[in-house]
A = this chain, B = another copy of it.
């Protein structure tokens, strides 16, 4: 059984006001090429298919054409909704699609039943779990009284009785604690959305969506394929790929990472204006890439954006790194906030409003409980 793994397509996404549609169409063409070359039995897309719960007509058309081409190739498609998707909208027609070997997870309203599927001498049970929040788990099992994402996931997966002689494969869209994150990942401040890798260990394989950096977590059998395109400059150094896994009848797994080449790369360029605008320098790489330029000149360069755009038409961000900008600590403050819990941030706010008087333990407990409740029910 050969499976290609994908996640976090974010069809219709804009990055710094640039539409990614053309890049995404180019990428999906490439995926079709890889399918024709490697002839997998199935393709898995682990959520965040679209970038918005109400995707644009162009994004819908892009996916429609892609699914049509998948179907023409007679391979199975397994797809779930991520936190960016509306599970109800994405699963429209799912029961009719399934007649055509296209399986889209329904919105989470009942225990997860496996899809029994066989290919290459392997009998598999495929479990499709769309992105879930604790409140949805409590709606299905009111008696469970789960609190937080970790308990919720544990409960849902605990309801599954795995078949011992099947290859049990789970497709999910959650944030496993300990995984590497980047700017474009949607993670909740304070880490309340993190779940332990331990809950996934009883499955033979888990394909995850949510984090854009390709990685395995805890074990080689729990994998984020990552987004197929770079969606922030923090991902500039990534090599995006599609994992191809081959499972033999003894359930041994072999993994190959099929490299992806974007229409336009995303790059960080740093240096003095004169060097960056020197043809010897810029002609070495593709001028149509999406670039973030950091100028190290001490003096502001007149009309820099227009002059740089003449060379790099897809310039997305321009900043200076010099004595003046180093003197301001705006950047560092923003960084610091990112790594602090909501409770710590609230404490700061409380103190600044109350003559630096710290919160009492009772006050802290109250706020903590409140924050927890808010995050869970989002």
Partner-B contacts on A (CB < 8 A): 53-54, 57-58, 60-61, 63-64, 67-68, 71, 86-89, 91-97, 99-100, 102, 107
Contacts and interface: CB of A to CB of B under 8 A. Distances in A.
A68 B93 CA distance: 8
B57 A89 contact: yes
A234 to B, nearest CB: 31
A96 B88 contact: no
Contact of A92 (B53, B64, B86, B88): B64
Nearest to A54: B54
Contact of A60 (B57, B71, B89): B89
A68 B95 contact: yes
Contact of A99 (B87, B94, B95, B99): B99
Nearest to A100: B96
26 contacts: A53-B57, A54-B54, A57-B86, A57-B87, A58-B88, A60-B86, A60-B88, A60-B89, A61-B107, A63-B92, A64-B88, A64-B91, A64-B92, A64-B94, A64-B95, A67-B93, A68-B95, A68-B96, A71-B96, A92-B92, A93-B96, A93-B97, A96-B96, A96-B100, A99-B99, A99-B100
A189 B97 CA distance: 42
A68 B61 CA distance: 22
Contacts of A63: 92
Contacts of A61: 88, 107
A102 B86 CA distance: 23
Contacts of A94: 64
Contacts of A67: 93, 96
Consensus secondary structure, chain A interface = helix
Contacts of A96: 67-68, 71, 93, 96-97, 100, 102
The residue among A54, A71, A91 with the most chain B CB atoms within 10 A of its own CB is: A54
A73 to B, nearest CB: 13
A86 B61 CA distance: 11
A88 B57 contact: yes
Contacts of A99: 99-100
A97 B67 CA distance: 12
Given A54-B54, A64-B94, A99-B100, 17 more contacts: A53-B57, A57-B87, A60-B86, A60-B88, A60-B89, A64-B93, A64-B95, A67-B93, A71-B96, A92-B93, A93-B96, A93-B97, A96-B96, A96-B97, A96-B100, A99-B99, A100-B100
A68 B64 CA distance: 20
Output the residue of A71, A89, A93 with the most chain B CB within 10 A.
A93
Nearest to A58: B88
Nearest to A68: B95
Contacts of A92: 60, 63-64, 92-93
Nearest to A104: B93
A63 B99 CA distance: 18
Nearest to A95: B68
Nearest to A99: B100
A96 B104 CA distance: 13
Contacts of A93: 64, 67, 92-93, 96-97
Contacts of A100: 96, 99-100
A174 B307 CA distance: 51
